[in-house]
Structures are given as C-alpha cells and as structure tokens.
Amino acid sequence: MCGLLGFLASDVATPATSDYETVVTQVYDALHCARHRGPDERGTWHDDHLVFGFNRLSIIDIEHSHQPLRWGPAENRERYALAFNGEIYNYLELRADLAETHAAEFPEGEMFATEGDGEAIVAAYHYWGPDAVRRLRGMFAFAIWDTETNELFLARDPFGIKPLFLATGPHGTAFGSEKKSLLELLPTLGLDDDLDPRAVEHYTVLQYVPEPETLHKNIQRLESGSFATVQPGSTPRIKRYFTPGFAVRPFAEGTEDARYREIAEALEDSVAKHMRADVTVGSFLSGGIDSTAIAALAMRHNPNLITFTSCFEREGYSEADVAAETAKAIGARHIIKTVSPTEFAEALPEIVWYLDDPVADPALVPLYFVAKEARKHVKVVLSGEGADELFGGYTIYREPLSLAPFERLPRGLRKLAGALSNRIPEGTRGKSLLHRGSLSLEERYYGNARSFNDAQLRAVLREFRPEWTHQDVTAPIYAQSRDLDPVARMQHLDLFTWLRGDILVKADKMTMANSLELRVPFLDSEVMRVAGGIPLEQKITKDTTKYALRQALEGIVPGHVLHRAKLGFPVPLRHWLRGTELYDWAQQQVAESQTDHLLDKAAISDMLVAHRTGTSDHSRRLWTVLVFMIWHGIFVEDRIKPQIQEPTYPVSL
C-alpha cells in the first residue's frame, strides 16, 4: 500500500519541459502531498521520457522490493520500471507459475531478485501482456514503463479499491494516487485548475463525484477494471478489462447446501490470501454480519487478532456493545474509539484535505478516527466492504418486491399514480410508494445516495442543468444490465456508482490518511464469481437480505449477529445540526464560504433554519453542501489551511 506519482513528457519541445531536471524536482516535491500513503520510504527514478515517484508503506518483503522497481527478462534485466500501489494476494502462485514456465530463459540466475509481489506484476505483464491484469487477485493501481518500446501501461483493480488519477496536457501526461499531487503538476502539463460544473452538480445529487470525473475538469480517474496505454506525445488509450457479472448459475434441486459451501469456501480462501503480510494484520469490527465474518475467518490465521470499532455516545448511534460481544465470542482482543461532536467538527478540514474530492458520507469521520486508533497497534486491517453489493445486502434492494404490482400496470395507469402522488401532501403515508411505483427502475434508482431532487437543486445551485442529473451517470450503466432481474440491476449499478464513488473512496482515503492499509476480502474475483451466480430468491426475501450469505456463514458468525438487521453506520447528524453540537458551526461555514457563484447561500441558510425548527429534515442535504464548502475553502479559496502532520510510524508494526 503506497502512493505513486509519474510524469510522461510529450515529445513536443516547450519551455515548460525543456529543463527536464526541473520536472524531476517538481515530481519529487509533489510526492510530499502523498507522504501519508507511504511514510517508510520515498524513491524516484527517471529516464529521458518518464519520471516515477513513490512513497512506500512496507507490508511484504520489507527489506527489499523497493520502488520504483526494475525488472526485465534475461536479455535486459532492467527493461521495465514499475510503480505499484496495492497488494496482489495470489503473488506466490503467480511467481511459482512464471518461474516454472520460463526457468529455461534464466540459465545464469533466478527470475526474481525479491520476495515481493511487484516483480510478479511486471513479469506477468512481460509474458502475458495487458491480459495479465485478469490474473491478478488483489487491489492495485500501477504503472509499468517499457524502456524498449517507450510505452506506459497503467491499470486499476476490477472494483476500484485503489485510486489512480490522470491528467493529459500539451506537455505530457501525469498520473498518481493523489489528486493533490496532480494539481501541483497541472502548470507543468500546460493545464489550468478550473472546476467542472457538471461534476459539481453530480456531486450535489449523488454525494460523491462519479468516475471518471473529478471536480477539476482537467483531472480524471482511470475507471475501475480498466487499463490504459500511453506513449510520449499521445493521449491515454483506455480499455475496460473487467465487468462484474451477475449471471445465475442454477444448482440441481436439493443442492442449495452446495451453494452455501461454495460461498463459505470462496470467502475463507479470500481471507486466507488477504492475511498474507510481513506485518501485523488486524480487523475492523462493527455489529454487522460482514465485518464479523471477516474477523471470525481471520482468527483462524491469527489467534491474536485485534479488532477495532468506533461509536458515538448518543443512544441509538452505537454498535459498540454488539461489536464487543462479537469480539468476545470469537476470542479477539477489542479496542473501541468513541467520537465526540467536537472531534467530529474539528477534524473535518483535515479529513476533506485527505479526500481530494468531497464525499458527503458522514460515516467517513468515525472511520478516520478508528483508523487512527488502529494504526497505533497494526499496519494492516481487514474490513467488510463490498458484501452488500455482491450478496444483496441493502434494504432498498427489497423495493422491487414491494413495487411488483406497479410493474404489471399499463404505463398510462402508472403515470396516473405519479400524478396522484403529486397531489398528496408531503408526509402523507403512501405518497412515496405511489410516486416511486409510477417510475421505471432507471428513473427511480440511482444508488444509495439520494440527497436533492430537481426542485431542491434549482433552489440551491446557481446553475442547474437537468441533463446533468443522475441519469446522465446511470443510463450507460443500466444499458449493460437489461437482461438481469431488477435486484441484480441495482447491484450492478451500485458496483459502478455507490461502491467505487463513496464506499471505497472513504475506505482508502481515511485509512491511508493514517498510513494504514485496508484490505477488503469480499471484493475478490473468486468471491464475485460465486456471488454473481446467486438467484434473486437467495438474495432477498420478504424477511431478510443477503439470505444465501447468511446461510453460508452459519457456524462462522455468532448467532447474535447472523440474522441481525442491517444498521449501517448511523451518525447523529440530524440531532447535531439541530442542537448546540453543530448548528452554530454550520452557520459559520455557510457565512464564511466564498461559494456564492456556485451556491445560493441564502437558500442554504433557510434550509438550516428549517432543519433546526424541525419543520424538515435537511441533514443529509446540508451535510452535502457543508462538505463542499469546506472542500472549496481548502482547494479553491485557499482560505482553510488544514494542519497536516508528518507521518511518523515505525516500519516494524
């Protein structure tokens, strides 16, 4: 787990790149923005075309596997240079396969000079080409430079666990793990740092910026499950290599137990591989089934496992008691971090700085604090992200069951139901059901985040463009899933939107802010293969979600958790924004923000007052704009200046 940065110069001779040593220095300086991602080592390498920079968090083969890493075949042992962020969990199997298959090509010595996973990536690329990425089980964002062909190969893992930002201008292409680093290199590329108004609107609707966008129009993200090739003077050529599949694999009658065994075995194998490390591995633990399953399976490989959870003091907003009971049941040592409203507010500027782009998910704040606590004890943690998307865990996935009668109505009658819902007063029971039943799945569902409707957007945004709303993002994704059942289509959509835009961004950014590596065993290609074959009735029933997964985890997850309803990670925003905890703070943020050209601050102030008086619950909408205002104050206004501490962690943890 590390932070990479690179600059591939254009062949065009310009004043901005004529002094190449200056570019090397600029890349080295810009690495400082990503120092938290790898405090153990910093390294650079360059030739006449490309500069690599790297901050390393040493996890595997600590004493060796330094980066940027050089590898090549017997005839040119330094043909390739690699900068790699992430972990390849099947690297031992890949190394053994490659060494056995090509041993005759290395009569004078070994194929590999280290014990790490980096050389496995480069060797796989040399022998298998771009198709090598399909064989990697892990989380990764990496860059390989071929010094013979002068071609750069960039790739990102199937689910988007690890980030990779791109910017291409007249003077070259820059790429890196942190957008902050690329912002520093934009002038060298010949680019400006203007905001993208479309991305601003998308963020306001979705609570995150959807891939491949960022809030800066000249910086994009390489999408999950994609790779790109770039040569000097060219723009990146991007190709998708992975699309998550939901294709039901029928089992013979009476053999559902075999399906459950297959799920349990795939997950156990994934956890076993995710435990590979030369440092201590811990686990996050909430009161839910997902993190409990991971922790329980991890205990089989590390009986001294430490688990971590965070909570709030307010009643109804803590799973600490359940998590502590779970830790006791599985035999883990358990540590709890309680987050106060004061800590919550004071940490926000620093947290938003780490995020790069705003994410209006309040759960990322307690995640930041529990990661900070965990880093005092371990260097790697496991977590349960991805289970809901793969196995059907969100309560909203049960909506197609309740709306099934509407699906059988003629389109005209469904429109009539929608018109009727518009006449029913807000808060009346049944209004929402009628409204949502009148819409198609593509119209009504755009993921778990639903902050602003169009009328609210018009009131808040200075420039509202209806063509930039959620269907602008979701329509191409829905087009890929026309043959699937409604729940599978929702899962497919969430894998491309909510998971990689919110869940994985906050997981990566909040743990890396504390130089902590987070691993997610549910997001594994083999687990995806098994989960993708589960039929609808084995995911969602009238009584529960994730039915097949719950059955598979009998005997692994303690009974008090196994059939417990999903809670998520509730944050008492609604109460805090009405009370003394955050109301005055929120007023101050609105008053001081210099976003008048983008947002109607008077309308936002009115929302805040309405929320305080209890006439409306605007907590999530307010949080969305407040986080944006903080982001704007840091990255645009330069008004808010977070105090980012230098990471000082021992390598040995």
Give CA separation, 481 vs 159, 250, 302, 378, 486, in Å: 17, 19, 40, 41, 9
Nearest to 493 by CA among 624, 394, 636, 365: 394
Give CA separation, 412 vs 318, 402, 418, in Å: 46, 20, 10
CA 236 to CA 445: how far, in whole Å? 32
Q: Are 5 and 30 in contact (CB under 8 A)?
A: yes
In the sheet with 69-71, reading across from the earlier edge strand, the strands are 69-71, 80-88, 138-146, 151-156, 226-230, 237-240
Residue 197 CB partners (closer than 8 Å, separation 6+)? 463, 465, 598
Per the annotation, the verdict on 311 as an active-site residue is: no
User: Which amino acid is located at 279 in the chain?
Assistant: V
Q: Are 368 and 346 in contact (CB under 8 A)?
A: no
Residue 87 neighbours by CB distance under 10 Å: 26
User: Which amino acid is located at 214 in the chain?
Assistant: T
Six-digit token string for 396: 């909203």
CA 644 to CA 647: how far, in whole Å? 9
CA 298 to CA 524: how far, in whole Å? 16
Active-site residue identified among 2, 9, 60, 154: 2
Q: Cα-flanking dihedrals φ and ψ of residue 444, to 5°? A: -95, -25
Give CA separation, 88 vs 117, 168, 277, 497, 513, in Å: 6, 28, 11, 24, 21
DSSP at 338: E
Relative orientation angle of helices 20-30 and 179-189, to the nearest 10 degrees: 160
Q: Are 82 and 67 in contact (CB under 8 A)?
A: yes
Residue 364 CB partners (closer than 8 Å, separation 6+)? 351, 355, 506, 509, 510
Residues involved in catalysis = 2
